[in-house]
Amino acid sequence: MSIDQALIEKITLEILTKMQTGAKAAPAGYGDGIFETVDEAVAAARKAYQELKTLSLEKREVLIKAMRDVAYENATILAQMAVDESGMGRVSDKIIKNQVAALKTPGTEDLTTQAWSGDNGLTLIEMGPYGVIGAITPTTNPTETVICNGIGMIAAGNTVFFSPHPTAKNTSMKIITLLNQAIVKAGGPNNLLTSVANPSIKAANEMMKHPGINMLVATGGPGVVKAVLSSGKKAIGAGAGNPPVIVDETADIEKAARDIVAGCSFDNNLPCIAEKEVIAIGSIADRLITYMQKYGAYLISGSNIDRLLDVIMTVQEEKIAEGCTDKPKRSYGINKDYVGKDAKYLLSKIGIDVPDSVRVVLCETPADHPFVIEELMMPVLPVVQVKDIDEAIEVAVRVEHGNRHTAAMHSKNVDHLTRFARAVETTIFVKNAPSYAGIGVGGEGFTSFTLAGPTGEGITSPRSFTRQRRCVLVDAFSIV
Ligand code: NAD
């Protein structure tokens, strides 16, 4: 694309944004939920909470419908903004993620009441709101998480202070602003969703300690999950994954190859649920690799694997005492500059030119290779060959690191499927489909972009953001 074309597209997008929302694009003078300080944002969310409490469930649903509509209508613009600002992911896939968050996040129907009636009257347990929730969102799903958490938390009667990742700040402000405007237009209170114009780790820490915040929900890596769990407040932690996918000899190998390429390359592997490494039984591994190449994977080998590692990973070598003959231990991290980039771009960095149709960089590695061990969040997919299902399960469980996040398997053997599911104990286990089926994209069930493995809420929904409250009436209202 020439610079002129890129500029024209950017300007068109800005004009479209303004036309579609009929409002100011982002913070500039603030308003619509965006404040200068954490104190102001929390105070506004607390006031909005009191106002929300006066509304009926029916009205809450009207507001949620308005949120769904505005998120759906702006799915494309938000996707483009997220890719432009964060430099990560694929616009076409982010559009799908925004749409799914808008359509498939549950609303107030998720709140259910339990009742006991008998000789002593009637007892109810109802799902009530927490108050103001502090929600910390990742750079990898900046708008999807705000849409999904926003709908779910408001459906449960809460208001929200969002603490977005600074690298996706404008995009996050945009969706918060749009949702607030839609709520007000539908007759709801302003500031059901709030944030600060300049999010930072410092602001996130201030929010976590703020007495006006009743509950914390962190969607991100291990650091932020640890931070909320150490806060002394009720917290939900949705942390990192490293999903393995096993392919055994009974699978439909061509379909497995197509599904794995589709799942691994979805939004350039940013989703925490995306396939991060393949464990293939030796007898079918070559056929699987051939089919994966047919469906958009590009196979590299030998020194090209080492060269790619040098580009996309950081290496630290342990210092060893003088005279020691032991090899120094190496630890690897990811080079954030390459997270969520296209396969074509990654390959260009090692001098390989491929067409746009290439979606995944494929390579064969041993099970202890850094590409297998680290959560890369790039469309780089190592394939580990194993001799049988026992070894496949042992390797897959090991490289999932006990995150208990997501795993997938392609097999027609019910015993193999059951054994792996039991051994890996993940929050999501996908059988014979791309990993995204696990969050309702081409699979049944509601969606969520906050998958709380560490704290056990699983695929979060409005009920995850409620307090259980018991109401007891003795000697009445039992009508039998
Ligand atoms: P990240 O952990 O760097 O940041 C996530 C959020 O936490 C950001 O808003 C960041 O500003 C904030 N943050 C980070 N450290 C913090 C600290 N010490 N105190 C306060 N706030 C802190 O992650 P990321 O790169 O934005 O997202 C990718 C990670 O998130 C991956 O590990 C991925 O697996 C995980 N993720 C998990 C889920 C899930 O539902 N389980 C969903 C999406 C992403």
CB 452 within 8 A of CB 428: no
CB 290 within 8 A of CB 305: no
Please identify, by atom number, the ligand 1 atom nearest to the C-alpha of residue 139.
Answer: 26
Rounded CA-CA distance 146/204 in Å is: 15
Here the tokens at position 162 are 């969002």
List alpha helices for 282-326, DSSP H.
Answer: 282-294, 303-312
Residue type, 463: R
CA 139 / ligand 1 centre spacing (Å)? 7
Rounded CA-CA distance 66/51 in Å is: 18
Among protein residues, the one whose CA lies closest to atom 8 of ligand 1: 165
- Give yes or no: residues 168 and 294 share one domain: no
Report how many domains make up the chain: 2
Torsion of CA 127, 132, 138, 140, to 10 degrees: 60
Whole-angstrom Cα Rg for the chain? 24
Residue type, 72: Y
Among protein residues, the one whose CA lies closest to atom 44 of ligand 1: 220
User: What pLDDT shows up at residue 7?
Assistant: 54
**Cβ contacts of 289 within 8 Å, gap of 6 or more:** 257, 297, 299, 362, 364, 383
Rounded CA-CA distance 14/25 in Å is: 8
Rounded CA-CA distance 141/307 in Å is: 29
- Give yes or no: residues 92 and 226 share one domain: yes
Residue 454 within a domain: no
Rounded CA-CA distance 400/451 in Å is: 15
Q: Which of 134, 109, 115 is nearest to 58 (CA)?
A: 109
User: What pLDDT shows up at residue 324?
Assistant: 81
What CATH number is associated with residue 333? 3.40.309.10
Residue 59 within a domain: yes
Q: How far is CA 160 from the centre of its chain?
A: 18
- Give yes or no: residues 365 and 438 share one domain: yes
Please identify, by atom number, the ligand 1 atom nearest to the C-alpha of residue 208.
Answer: 20
User: What pLDDT shows up at residue 328?
Assistant: 82
User: From residue 292, how far is each of 128, 308, 472 by CA, in Å?
Assistant: 48, 19, 60
Per the document, the length of the chain is: 480
Whether 459 lines ligand 1, by a CB cut-off of 6 Å, is: no
- Give yes or no: residues 404 and 417 share one domain: yes
Whether 140 lines ligand 1, by a CB cut-off of 6 Å, is: yes
- Give yes or no: residues 372 and 249 share one domain: yes
- Give yes or no: residues 234 and 312 share one domain: no
CA 227 / ligand 1 centre spacing (Å)? 11
Among protein residues, the one whose CA lies closest to atom 14 of ligand 1: 224
Tens digit of pLDDT at every position of the chain (480 positions):
444 554 555 555 554 444 444 444 445 568 899 999 999 999 999 999 999 999 999 999 999 999 999 999 999 999 999 999 999 999 999 999 999 999 999 999 999 999 999 999 999 999 999 999 999 999 999 999 999 999 999 999 999 999 999 999 999 999 999 999 999 999 999 999 999 999 999 999 999 999 999 999 999 999 999 999 999 999 999 999 999 999 999 999 999 999 999 999 999 999 999 999 999 999 999 999 999 999 999 999 999 999 999 999 999 988 877 888 788 888 999 999 999 999 999 999 999 999 999 999 999 999 999 999 999 999 999 999 999 999 999 999 999 999 999 999 999 999 999 999 999 999 999 999 999 999 999 999 999 999 999 999 999 999 999 999 999 999 999 888
Here the tokens at position 317 are 């070598």
Residue 235, judged by CB atoms within 10 A of its CB (0-12, 13-18, 19+), counts as buried
Rounded CA-CA distance 60/334 in Å is: 43
Residue 96 within a domain: yes
Residue 108 within a domain: yes
- Give yes or no: residues 223 and 269 share one domain: no
- Classify 316 as helix, strand or coil: strand
Residue with tokens 């954490």: 38
User: What pLDDT shows up at residue 440?
Assistant: 97
Residue 46 within a domain: yes
CA 220 / ligand 1 centre spacing (Å)? 2
Distance in Å from the first CA to the final CA of the chain: 74
- Give yes or no: residues 299 and 393 share one domain: yes
CB 75 within 8 A of CB 102: yes
CB 422 within 8 A of CB 401: no
Whether 191 lines ligand 1, by a CB cut-off of 6 Å, is: no
- Give yes or no: residues 212 and 271 share one domain: no
CA 237 / ligand 1 centre spacing (Å)? 10
CB 222 within 8 A of CB 401: no
Q: Which of 376, 409, 377 is nearest to 259 (CA)?
A: 409
- Give yes or no: residues 318 and 426 share one domain: yes
User: Residue 193 phi/psi, 5° resolution?
Assistant: -120, 130
- Give yes or no: residues 228 and 131 share one domain: yes
Rounded CA-CA distance 414/417 in Å is: 5
Residue 67 within a domain: yes
Q: Containing domain of residue 259, as a range?
A: 244-444
What CATH number is associated with residue 223? 3.40.605.10
Rounded CA-CA distance 478/44 in Å is: 42
User: What pLDDT shows up at residue 16?
Assistant: 47
Whether 240 lines ligand 1, by a CB cut-off of 6 Å, is: yes
- Give yes or no: residues 384 and 323 share one domain: yes
229-237 long-range contacts (CB < 8 A, ≥24 apart) are 229/454, 229/455, 233/208, 234/130, 235/455, 236/450, 236/452, 236/455, 236/457, 236/460, 236/464, 236/465, 237/452, 237/454, 237/455
Whether 269 lines ligand 1, by a CB cut-off of 6 Å, is: no
- Classify 37 as helix, strand or coil: coil
- Positive or negative: CA dihedral 282, 284, 286, 288: negative
Residue 346 within a domain: yes
Rounded CA-CA distance 447/185 in Å is: 26
Residue type, 127: M
Residue type, 283: S
Residue 15 within a domain: no
Quote the Cα angle for 388-400-279, to 5°. 30
- Classify 140 as helix, strand or coil: coil
